[in-house]
Amino acid sequence: MMSDGNLDLPEILTGEHFTTGNHATAEGALAVGCKFFGGYPITPSSEIAEHMALRLPRVNGHFVQFEDELASIIGILGARWGGYKSMTATSGPGYSLMVENIGLGMMTETPCVIINVQRGGPSTGLPTLVGQQDIMQTKWGSHGDFEPIVLCPSNVQECFELAVQAFNYAEQYRLPVTILMDEILGHMSEKLIIPDKSKIKRVNTKKPNVPPEEYLPYKPDKDLVPPMAIAGDGYNIMVTGLTHDERGYPVLNVETQEKLVRRINDKIRKNKDKIIILEEYMLDDAEIAVLSFGSVARAAKGAVNRAREKGIKAGLLRLVTIWPFPDERIEALANQVKTILVPEINYGQITREVERTTHGKTNVKGLFKMGIMHNPQEILSEIEKCV
């Protein structure tokens, strides 16, 4: 087991393990080169912090427990500007505290990873039971216009893989990336296979290839992402949350706002196809689609299998990236199927997005539960009703 204080542990623990989702996420972060964790304990994500506290010092990283989530999020932004890949882990109430500075991360284009192990909400809610109620917050929680990247694993192996992917997206597109887990996934134990070092890809931000006199910190390349110089590189960078021009200096006028806000949104919007990850299961000839994500997708897959055994043409579309939302794929799906069922552990968040993107071309039905995952029989009953 990873957490028993085993000696001689490198960054990447290649091999087979049996461990929890929280630990798998932490190991994924370590495998991709995370060297700084700044956090605050909150159920159900505290195990991530505890695991990082154990493992990071061994791999020459730093674990800092801050006084609150407000300090944690800005602490990890500072660590990245100091040169360390950084992350934090929290749940709904903590994420609410962090949103202001996630906005700062978006505006300053700082790569970092935030893990939200969702629990029941609103407010203090259900600390020890599952929820999927924070999805819209990852897109609209912070003020202002920005396009987030949000990943949603469904099993423990994916927790590891998506942690690696999250850091790579963050570095490539220079923004805070959120991993939306949930309490069930965080606390369940499953098999995890950590591959060899050579199979784990590490992406780093582009570095400037001009001398300091010619460098403009916020002048984008063709992919709309600027190369990043950090503190100590000798570039005398200016990083500010105010609207800024290409030098990074605050310039508070209409023209600069237009240019900057459009670019930090377009860098994701225009690269959507390279970012969106979906799993399509038995969707080719499906007449009824189940659209789900997170822990619920496990039950949904089971329901689709049972439906197929009964001869119903059901299929599963699993969102691995929730944002950017796969508008085009769902619109295409709407032309194909009679109904899209959306089981989620909330009172209708992704359901609304699906309704928006299908433009009334198909039936959309949300299956809402609170505090507990759907079981496959419940989803199967709904599928049968649609036939």
Positions touching another protein (CB under 8 A) are: 5, 7-9, 36, 38, 54, 57-58, 60, 62-64, 66-68, 70-72, 74-79, 81-84, 86, 100-101, 104, 231-242, 249-250
d(CA 131, CA 254): 41
**CA distances to 205, 215, 296 from 211, in Å:** 17, 6, 51
Nearer to another protein, 81 or 325 (CB): 81
**Cα Rg of the chain, angstroms:** 21
Tell me the closest approach of the beta carbon of residue 256 to another protein, in angstroms: 15
Nearer to another protein, 218 or 293 (CB): 218
Nearer to another protein, 76 or 276 (CB): 76
Sign of CA dihedral 324, 325, 327, 331: positive
Tell me the closest approach of the beta carbon of residue 97 to another protein, in angstroms: 11
Beta strand 314-319 pairing with 126-130: unpaired
User: Quick one: DSSP state of residue 250?
Assistant: B
Q: Which residues contact 385 (CB under 8 A, 6 or more apart)?
A: none
Q: Which residues contact 185 (CB under 8 A, 6 or more apart)?
A: 21, 117, 153, 154, 155, 156, 159, 294, 295
Tell me the closest approach of the beta carbon of residue 66 to another protein, in angstroms: 6
Nearer to another protein, 14 or 189 (CB): 14
Nearer to another protein, 242 or 372 (CB): 242
Tell me the closest approach of the beta carbon of residue 60 to another protein, in angstroms: 6
Tell me the closest approach of the beta carbon of residue 80 to another protein, in angstroms: 8
Tell me the closest approach of the beta carbon of residue 149 to another protein, in angstroms: 21
Nearer to another protein, 122 or 232 (CB): 232
Nearer to another protein, 86 or 362 (CB): 86
**CA distances to 29, 33, 34, 192, 364 from 16, in Å:** 17, 20, 21, 6, 41
Tell me the closest approach of the beta carbon of residue 38 to another protein, in angstroms: 7
Determine the residue type at 299: A
CB neighbours (10 Å) of residue 332? 11
d(CA 160, CA 25): 5
